[in-house]
Structure 1
Amino acid sequence: MTIAARCRRAAALILCLAAGVLALLLGASPVHAGVMTQAELARRFPAPLTVGERDAELPIWPLFREGGSGSELAGYVFESGDLAPIPGFSGVPVNLLVAIDPAGRFIGVEVLSQHEPVFQYGLGEAPLFEFVKQYQGVSLKQNIRIETNSRQARQPDAGRVSIDGISRATVSVRIINESVLAAALLVSRRKLGFGAGKGGSSIARVRTDRPETLSFQRLLDDGVLRHLRVTNAQMEKLYAGSDGARLDEEALRQPDAIFIDLYLACVSVPAVARSLLSAASLAKLAPWLEQGDQAILVISSGRHRVPGDDFTRGGIPERLLLRQHQLAIDMRDLDLDLKLVPGLGVPADASLAVFRIPAEAGLDPGAAFDFTVPVTRSKGQFYPERIARELPVSYQIPSRFLIAAAGGASWHDAWQARRLDLLILVCGLVVLALALSRPRKLSGNARRFQWFRGAYLLFTIGFIGYHAQAQLSIVNLTGVIQALASGRSLAFLLHDPLTVALWGFVVVSLLLWGRGTFCGWLCPFGALQECAGKLARLCSLPQWKVSRAMDARLKRLKYVALALILASALTGVAVDTLVELEPFKTAITLNFVRAWPYAAYALALLAISVFIHKFFCRYLCPLGAALALLGRFRLLDWIPRRSECGRPCQTCRHRCDYQAIAPDGKVAYDECFQCMDCVVIHESAQRCAPRLLEIKRARTIPIVSDTGAAP
């Protein structure tokens, strides 16, 4: 084959490999990760603000303001896609950069990425950019109302605030608002002390294992059905002595008439739902509630009904507001036609509505729900003065319907939620440990070994890498170093159970076999490179072997990279930039869906590995360097050797793609990736020269004389 033909084949292979990888990854489950770096945030938040180190527990950065008395906390900045990746109309979450101050007010909101069709192909992005600017100055303690062509003046101390929506983009704007609020509420609870610092698994959960049905009176007595009844006269009394007094003519004419007759119940509690809703209504409601969601049933009659005659179904009610621990929480109408159980003691003409509170809002079922019914009267004709009053309704779910919070250890839920993945990972690690503990038996049949290794590499790429997102990284080590240097807890590690389990196995394997177990079997990007190299060999592409002297020099590069990254982690200088030497985030975590320089770099490394075996792993990987250093404390020299290895036999040395065997036959375990090719050769009667010689000698027929005695 000519050189030109080989080059064409190589180019075609690289293009096919890149297309195949991208097709595989883009079709995989989307896993979002932040795109902001500390340097980029510093550019967006210039002096007098400074951007601190990324938080160890949440993907957020603190903002500090320099003053005469030193630095003070000015707020936090974060990406909504990291904390509340709510899918948009296109199925892809809109990613927003959100900043809030210590009082829970929005410093600003910016759009980082979006794929909403209405903005991509219709209105353009300009209306979206203008929409998110309106969050500046709004407080999380205010209920946010989105209106089209709203002209209401902002009042910082008002309980409600209006934001001007976008015509023809109602759904997208609603989802964006939910993403902004869900992410900001999570940060405010965890970092600003709102909501008693509760979030995640530190809040109670509704029990689903209580099949009881309660009478109407028992519902009222237990407080799971709250009743508010206000007459016109009582409403007028609330306005007495104010500018809103005697403005409601109907109330003055009929003081004993009902202004509002309201019942509230949390029907995400199964016992409450069964007691109030018909069987058909229960079946209708169930598909709309996911784990952690809450649903509020509203039964109302009278003049001031909830949600009101002019309410647009599917929207957020204005006549019923919810707060918990002073934080405003949105409820959205499910637009379901529900029916009550016959015979309940509610007015016959009462209207029904059910409102959903998504789990992302962080509502704690174990704490009080602070409902308010706002009532507004207007005085004046052209520029009317609005006088507001609120009717409070407190709601509390009894403890017998709840599972108590797990003592604030939010990582418990992460381990519980991923128990199936953990089981699969542990089974995979047990299989690998058993196989590696008997290397000669595993390698006794070369064909069987190749099938086992190939299958395990696919398991590493598909399950450990893209599904479980358990790619170990130098970032794991720098995060630990930074936490220890600043005196922070290492509890943040527990929020990623599969990574913790995999690190535990790797530490044990380092003591037994050295770095090769992870680098050769459990690294998804390393397995991806090896598969690319195997595919190249099947296509008869040329393989370039670096000279021994150059190989030795290049292998020092990864130790230099490791030293620079560890130094930057200790000093906090440019660490986010240096760790990008690893392509793991781009290739595995972000599925190559990243800015083109990062994707091009990762693809280039894969392309090089087509011709130079696992180029990145051998010469550039800082994590590999760290594991090589730690692996020097291994207990076993597990690769079997013969006295003839290296003296004179050089078969294994020439076949070692990692160039980890010296001419004298000694194995450099620091550079060994445990591919076990040398063990396969050692056990093969067809490939191992010393064994071939032994077999040949065994087959030698001794010469004897015709007398029967050996000469």
Structure 2
Amino acid sequence: MRGATSPDNAHPSPRPSPERERGPAPHLARPGEGARRALQRILLLGILLLLSLRAGAGTLDRAGVERFFPPPLVVGERDDALPVWPILKQEAGSYEVFAYAFESIDLAPIPGFAGTPPNLLVALAPDGSFREVKVLSHHEPVFLEGLGSEPLFAFVEQYAGLSARRAIRVGRANARASGAPPQGVVDGISMATASTRVINESILNAALAVARRRLGFGAAANLGLKVEARTDAFEPLPFADLLARGYAKRFVVTNGQAEAAFRGTGVEGRAEGPADVPLTDLVFAYLNVPTIGRNLLGEARFAALTRELGPGDHAVLVVSAGPLNPLGEDFVMGSIPDRIAIQQEGLVVNARDMAIERRGGGMAGLPEGPWTILRIAAQAGFDPSRHWSLSEKIVRERGQILVERVARDFAADYALPESLFVREKPEAGPSWTDSWTARGWELGAIAAALGLLVPVLSRQRGLVADQRRFGAFRLAFLAFTLLFIGWYAQAQLSIVTLVGLVRAALGGGGLNFLLYDPPSLLLWAFVLASLVAWGRGTFCGWLCPFGALQELAAWPARRLGLRQVAVPPALDRALRLVKYAVLAAILGAAALASPLADSLAEIEPFKTAITLFFVRSWPFVAYAAGLILLNLFVYKAFCRYLCPLGAALALGGRLRLLDWIPRRSECGSPCQLCKVRCRYGAITPSGRIDYPECFQCMECVTIIHDPGQCVPQVVARKRGRTIAPRPVAAE
């Protein structure tokens, strides 16, 4: 029934065979239409070809490991329980373990800047020190596009000789040459701060996993236990009671205690006050327990913190009330603090500042000095129900020309009642199931919204036919899409997912990464189903948060009479081809394993406007804001001309089964009302629907069902007759 739907029988019907389709003589194709269709077919075939390819990658086998550890070293048998290769060395007639070699991606697959985890070969000695670290693979744009990989190779070489028992942070470039402690700092790389931090966390978290199981230290007995704070454990308590119960801990080091620790080092006698006056005065607490976190942070901040923490992650608050700033004067948000560390059972736990909003105060009684919330990743193996400690490093200097730093560590113990936690042996199963359980209510809300949307759009003589009520429904649904699906659930679909699919297809990887974002996967499933049924418009017109943001921004401008620019038809047709070229460039770069794909994907403003709430560097913010401003004058210009995801969906929409938009034979000749009203330019002068450009706003459907708006019905009623619909040739 393609192009032959009568308004009196407006339900979608399957596409007919060419032998059965009849109608007036076909119209001549518009200029450029042939080129656009050819380009679309080529791109669609190219995408299907890319996704059909497979290239084996896998992890290192024995021969691969032996290339890194040649004779006289011997590579032993790979561990069945842990992906570790023992590296053996002959000593006094017998073989001793020289190191345990493993790939970081097997133990700590932390996504890098490009969304793909780096993979490093790590050799850990039996005493917990690093024998060697080598880069096996990475997709960090700053190294692939700009600096080259050599600085990264030199960066990981610094780990040789360092110990996994101690915290290791990434300092500034030449940090160790400037006097930083050689055991706790590796030199950073200018312009690659984010990438080197990911590399550092990958190395440390993977090494700690091996240390706990193979080196005899750390919480080996607790491996496999799932320890979570009880969500029902809430009791409103003042700050004094939190301290009294030990839920919040005060950690004080006086001038006298510091002097005693530095005695005999040549830096004693530096105290600036009486011996009993605090030099450092900290309050710290584990925040995941609601009785602690909700009381200290307040309802809103605790809820925000809970949303931001990943499954299995932990948060620790540290606030200073003393004269010594534990974060250091040059502290950078999002980094690992220099002077404070969390330790548990002989290991320093990798804890990073969460870089969250720092304005506003906490509960009454909480100090107002410098503070941080430290995130401990699930991979670190931290058990909050067991004893742990917070340590602070106090540093003094001596010498004027060759400055020497002398440090002393002070620690305070922390322990919470086991009744505040749920400890259980996790069932054998994939780790992504935790994400689905944690976000169950979000999935329910989105599923309910989708369940409401389908009958509204499919029953075209229902709500859609009532212009006033349907207009209110559309605005409300777009607000839900922006506020809940986009800003709250962070389920903005993106071309980045297709880039990941291409990389997985060509790299032989799995698609498990999709399972860790349940709301987005639910939307992808619905969008693919609606794509086959109705075409591109369901997502682009109803479920895209950035599209909703544009439409909501344009609504008051339209009410205020802001005049829009009419794009000339020839230019409009040419501009619509641009998004297909952008799509081809992005997927082509991904297929070639080029990091340029990630840079090109920034043409989408989704990350800036939706994921990061416009909290980003000014060029990205200016670009996203500029597109919203352009939308006020050229309606949804980005969606129509630039969006690579829209181009991919338009190509997939060629598989559409239904021609669901009703048309009359009078549409286009003589009536042009729907074409004039369509702000997307998805109705041709002939009256046909250009489905790849249709955003399913349903305005033309409302018009054709309204006897007061549909011109053929108005004319027929005045002449006292009814309209006999005739088929219209399909687009």
TM-score category (smaller protein): 0.5 to 0.7
Work out which of the residue numbers 450, 455, 458 in structure 1 matches 2:479. Answer: 458
Deviation, structure 1 residue 568: 0.6
Work out which of the residue numbers 111, 114, 118 in structure 2 matches 1:58. Answer: 111
Query: 1:600-646 CA deviation, whole Å, 9 max, x = no partner?
Result: 22222112111111111111111111000101111111101122222
Paired residue for 1:582? 604
Deviation, structure 1 residue 520: 0.6
Length, aligned pairs only: 470
Q: Determine whether 1:659 maps to 2:675.
A: no
Work out which of the residue numbers 204, 209, 220 in structure 2 matches 1:188. Answer: 204
Distance, in Å, in 1 between the alignment partners of 2:585 and 2:608 is 21
Q: Determine whether 1:524 maps to 2:545.
A: yes
Paired residue for 1:620? 642
After superposition, the Cα gap between the structure-2 partners of 1:534 and 1:137, relative to the gap in structure 1 and judged at 3 Å, is farther
Distance, in Å, in 1 between the alignment partners of 2:633 and 2:351 is 57
Paired residue for 2:443? 422
After superposition, the Cα gap between the structure-2 partners of 1:564 and 1:192, relative to the gap in structure 1 and judged at 3 Å, is farther
Deviation, structure 1 residue 368: 9.3
Which segment drifts farther, 511-520 or 608-617?
608-617
Is the 2:586–2:601 contact (alpha carbons within 8 Å) kept by the matching residues of 1? Answer: yes
Is the 2:343–2:390 contact (alpha carbons within 8 Å) kept by the matching residues of 1? Answer: yes
Paired residue for 2:564? 543
Paired residue for 1:445? 466
Is the 1:205–1:405 contact (alpha carbons within 8 Å) kept by the matching residues of 2? Answer: no
Work out which of the residue numbers 687, 697, 706 in structure 2 matches 1:684. Answer: 706
Paired residue for 1:141? 165
Distance, in Å, in 2 between the alignment partners of 1:629 and 1:77 is 28
Deviation, structure 1 residue 208: 5.1
Q: Determine whether 1:571 maps to 2:624.
A: no
Is the 1:189–1:195 contact (alpha carbons within 8 Å) kept by the matching residues of 2? Answer: no
Q: Which amino acid aligns with 2:112?
A: P
Distance, in Å, in 2 between the alignment partners of 1:156 and 1:538 is 64
Deviation, structure 1 residue 360: 4.2
Is the 2:165–2:347 contact (alpha carbons within 8 Å) kept by the matching residues of 1? Answer: yes
Work out which of the residue numbers 204, 225, 231 in structure 1 matches 2:226. Answer: 204
Paired residue for 1:363? 381
Distance, in Å, in 1 between the alignment partners of 2:720 and 2:344 is 88
Distance, in Å, in 2 between the alignment partners of 1:677 and 1:285 is 49
Paired residue for 2:535? 514
Q: Which amino acid aligns with 2:505?
A: L
Is the 1:105–1:140 contact (alpha carbons within 8 Å) kept by the matching residues of 2? Answer: no
Is the 1:77–1:100 contact (alpha carbons within 8 Å) kept by the matching residues of 2? Answer: no
Question: Within 5 Å, which residues of 2 pair with 1:399-418?
Answer: 402-407=423-428, 409-418=430-439
Deviation, structure 1 residue 432: 1.1
Distance, in Å, in 1 between the alignment partners of 2:296 and 2:702 is 57
Larger radius of gyration: 1
Deviation, structure 1 residue 539: 1.7
Higher relative contact order structure (alpha carbons within 8 Å, sequence separation ≥ 6): 2
Paired residue for 2:658? 636
In structure 2, list runs of 5 or more residues that go unmatched: 1-103, 122-132, 142-150, 170-178, 187-195, 214-218, 234-284, 307-312, 317-323, 328-336, 353-372, 392-405, 723-731
Distance, in Å, in 1 between the alignment partners of 2:351 and 2:589 is 43
Q: Which amino acid aligns with 1:434?
A: P
Partner-residue secondary structure (3-state), 2:719: helix
Paired residue for 2:367? none
Is the 2:465–2:702 contact (alpha carbons within 8 Å) kept by the matching residues of 1? Answer: yes
Paired residue for 1:149? none
Deviation, structure 1 residue 547: 2.3
Aligned-pair identity in percent equals: 39
Is the 1:520–1:675 contact (alpha carbons within 8 Å) kept by the matching residues of 2? Answer: yes
After superposition, the Cα gap between the structure-2 partners of 1:442 and 1:409, relative to the gap in structure 1 and judged at 3 Å, is same
Deviation, structure 1 residue 565: 0.9
Partner-residue secondary structure (3-state), 2:135: strand
Q: Which amino acid aligns with 2:588?
A: A
Query: 1:323-363 CA deviation, whole Å, 9 max, x = no partner?
Result: 569655789xxxxxxxxxxxxxxxxxxxxxxxx99754733
After superposition, the Cα gap between the structure-2 partners of 1:154 and 1:74, relative to the gap in structure 1 and judged at 3 Å, is farther
Distance, in Å, in 1 between the alignment partners of 2:581 and 2:163 is 48
Work out which of the residue numbers 602, 620, 630 in structure 2 matches 1:598. Answer: 620
Partner-residue secondary structure (3-state), 1:440: coil
Q: Which amino acid aligns with 1:62?
A: P
After superposition, the Cα gap between the structure-2 partners of 1:696 and 1:59, relative to the gap in structure 1 and judged at 3 Å, is same
Partner-residue secondary structure (3-state), 2:632: helix
Q: TM-score, structure 1 length as denominator?
A: 0.53
Distance, in Å, in 1 between the alignment partners of 2:390 and 2:600 is 52
After superposition, the Cα gap between the structure-2 partners of 1:594 and 1:192, relative to the gap in structure 1 and judged at 3 Å, is same
Deviation, structure 1 residue 519: 0.6
Distance, in Å, in 1 between the alignment partners of 2:325 and 2:565 is 67
Distance, in Å, in 1 between the alignment partners of 2:588 and 2:231 is 54
Which segment drifts farther, 506-515 or 575-584?
575-584
Deviation, structure 1 residue 78: 9.1
Deviation, structure 1 residue 593: 2.1
Work out which of the residue numbers 541, 553, 560 in structure 1 matches 2:581. Answer: 560
Is the 1:204–1:366 contact (alpha carbons within 8 Å) kept by the matching residues of 2? Answer: no
Distance, in Å, in 2 between the alignment partners of 1:485 and 1:578 is 19
Q: Which amino acid aligns with 2:462?
A: K
Q: Which amino acid aligns with 2:670?
A: P
In structure 1, list runs of 5 or more residues that go unmatched: 1-51, 66-70, 80-98, 108-135, 146-152, 164-179, 212-266, 274-281, 296-311, 332-355, 374-385, 701-711
Q: Which amino acid aligns with 1:556?
A: L
Q: Which amino acid aligns with 2:657?
A: L
Is the 2:672–2:687 contact (alpha carbons within 8 Å) kept by the matching residues of 1? Answer: yes
After superposition, the Cα gap between the structure-2 partners of 1:690 and 1:579, relative to the gap in structure 1 and judged at 3 Å, is same
Q: Determine whether 1:646 maps to 2:668.
A: yes
Paired residue for 1:258? none
Q: Which amino acid aligns with 1:690?
A: P
Q: TM-score, structure 2 length as denominator?
A: 0.52
Deviation, structure 1 residue 482: 0.9
Deviation, structure 1 residue 494: 1.3
Is the 1:203–1:364 contact (alpha carbons within 8 Å) kept by the matching residues of 2? Answer: no
Which segment drifts farther, 400-409 or 645-654?
400-409
Distance, in Å, in 1 between the alignment partners of 2:466 and 2:375 is 56
